[in-house]
Copies of this chain bind each other. A is one copy, B any other.
Amino acid sequence: MEYEKILPEIIQENDKKILLVVLDGIGGLPHPITGKTELETARIPNLDYFAKIGSCGLIIPVLPGITPGSGPGHIALFGYDPIEIQIGRGILECLGIGLEVKKGEIAIRGNFATIDENKIVTDRRAGRIPTEENEKIVNLISENIREIKGIKIKIKTVKEHRCAIILSGENLSIDVSENDPGKEGKPLKNFVPLSEKGKFTAEVLNEFEERVINLLKNVDTKAKCILLRGFSTYPEIKTFKEKYKLNACCIATYPMYKGISKLVGMDVIDCGETVEEEIMALQKVYNDYNFFFLHIKKTDSLGEDGNFEGKVKFIEEIDKKIELIKSMEFEAIAITGDHSTPSKLKGHSWHPVPFVLVSPNTIPDDVQRFTEKECSKGILGNMYSKNVMYLLLACSLKLGKFGA
């Protein structure tokens, strides 16, 4: 990223406080009947107030047309290039269930699958077994397979047929092929080393798989083996302290976002489940940090459910609570999302996300509403998510002059 070349010489520490509010998946698409998006439908006087007093724009999460997962979406908002810094799928799966990964460990995504007596994969998702059944099997495996060749194995339930696995010990490597044949009707593959370095890890995984298969042979479940993929190690990433000289904290309710925040060196603050509880947590730690990442999840979940009305209602709920922020002092506030999650598409999307920057050091534009269409007319225009952090740093006067 180009900023990296000049940041160390211009970054300046000060006490001014920055607040980054991420309304996960906030952007939407027009409702087929009303022609209005979720934000356009909702009554949001407080978000509109911020749009009125702030500088508005739309942010492109990764590149035009690219739909980001939560990883790239947040990595970009945190000021890293989301294509350069890719966090392994295994890591994200572990972070998502609050399983901490340390340097040197290998994090892996697992799918329980069904195989027949000839090890032909007959169902790559084991009939999407219930999460409770997954938990029982995971317990059985945990109790029986703790270590192989000196490598400690930790396995945890994610949900349905999914689990997460961490290997820890010496001489581990991610240079190993996956064992998923990719299609039903094909035989389970062996783990094959992709380089000399991966030889030992492949041996460990092949033994692990064999023992899992034996263990599940006589258990009453469709889960008869595990397909392992997304082998990943702790990413090389500079922390907020190192990169921005910021004391940063995260207020989030979901493990995934707490996990990504930890990766960039944020302290994760205890908070409850509701937006109100999150804002109370923000007030509580207000004096202890100068960067606050406040993550609100349910806008995304409701969008993924295709629940247009639910998303509208929840946006209105956020709006009520977010009023509390007005009375707190921040030198720079950004309110935006990591990506759009239109109810219409029942999933993340590529659409640019409404963005407002509130600061005494920015130019308020004519935008009156916090919506996709109105924000697109704002003074910031269309910009990339990965640039957001630098506007926040600039507005809080933490970036010195570049060049004489």
- Using a CB–CB distance below 8 Å, which chain A residues touch chain B? 2-3, 5-6, 10, 29-30, 35, 37, 58, 62-72, 82-83, 86-87, 89, 92-93, 230, 344-345, 347-352, 361-366, 372-373, 376-383, 387, 389-394, 399-404
Contacts and interface: CB of A to CB of B under 8 A. Distances in A.
B69 A3 contact: no
Main secondary structure of the interface of A (DSSP, over half): loop
Given A63-B390, A402-B62, A403-B68, A373 B381 contact: no
Contacts of A87: 403
A365 B361 contact: no
A361 B29 contact: yes
B382 A373 contact: no
A361 B345 contact: yes
Number of copies of this chain that the complex holds: 2
A89 B6 contact: no
Residue from A82, A83, A352, A381 whose CB has the most chain B CB atoms within 10 Å: A381
A248 to B, nearest CB: 17
Nearest to A390: B65
9 contacts: A10-B66, A37-B363, A64-B383, A64-B390, A65-B390, A71-B404, A89-B404, A93-B404, A351-B363
Given A67-B394, A230-B404, 13 more contacts: A3-B66, A58-B381, A64-B391, A65-B394, A66-B394, A67-B399, A93-B404, A345-B361, A349-B361, A349-B394, A351-B363, A376-B379, A382-B383
